[in-house]
Chain A
Amino acid sequence: MDPEISKQLAELQAQIDRLGQNAPQNKLSMVVFSGNLDRALASFIIATGAVAMGMEVVMFFTFWGTPLLRDKRKSAGGKDMMGQMFGAMLPKGAGDLKLSSLNMGGMGTAMMKSLMKKKNVASLEQMIEMAGELGVRIFICDMSMDLMGFKREEMIDYPDLTYCGVAKFLEEAMGSKIQLFI
């Protein structure tokens, strides 16, 4: 073979190897920013579906998404006034979320929930539990926790629940085939 061609081939091989090392993994990274019932449901349907498709899944909860991971049976003391206000005004857990449209003072959300039950669609609480069983990893934004005055002891029991900042999300997102912001 022509030495020039062999050299080019070797260079191409090296380039392909480098690309392979940097290629994203079969992973889905999701930011759950919204605290609406419909969006939260969609995020967990996609997350559990992705596990079924053989993907690794990580979800990052930030801002209005954070309170949906509160446990309604738990409470935390030692909060300042702002923390207490946020605590009282924001949803206490997945069961408290409202639809992003057609809420109609809670009537629309109640109707949607009864319809979901009738049609056998899993509730958000059930979806979260299933995500845990399927190995979906959940990260919670530490700054959101701090801003809203949430304490770790009032969050749900979820396997390997981790608190983190933006860098952890970016690290996971960089190595993911799919990144979503919901």
Chain B
Amino acid sequence: MAEEIKADKSMDLKGLPCPMPVVKISKGIKDVAVGEVVMCETSDPGALADFPAWAKTSGNEILQTVQEGNTVKFYIKRKV
């Protein structure tokens, strides 16, 4: 297990279905400075495919993906 990444902001997106998780993270990541990290927790099964697609297109970086039961935590570094 990799060491815990320190997040500058946390977002609880559990219970929100498509398209809300990507809509929320695309807004939420603007609250941190470039280089800072947002931890985002979601229960949307589609997020496992959607977050990497969103990160790639928007130019941000997913540092770590942690699956815990029905939820997934993404550690995302703002790059742009």
Contact = CB atoms under 8 A, between A and B. Distances in A.
A53 B54 CA distance: 6
Dominant secondary structure of chain B at its interface with chain A: helix
A134 B18 CA distance: 16
A130 B22 CA distance: 13
A105 interface: no
Given A49-B23, A52-B25, A54-B26, A120 B54 contact: no
Interface residues of B, number: 15
Contacts of B57: 53-54
Given A52-B54, A53-B57, A119 B23 contact: no
Contacts of A53: 22, 26, 53-54, 57-58
Given A53-B57, A53-B58, A120 B16 contact: yes
A49 B19 contact: yes
Nearest to A46: B19
Interface of A: 45-46, 48-49, 51-54, 119-122, 130, 134
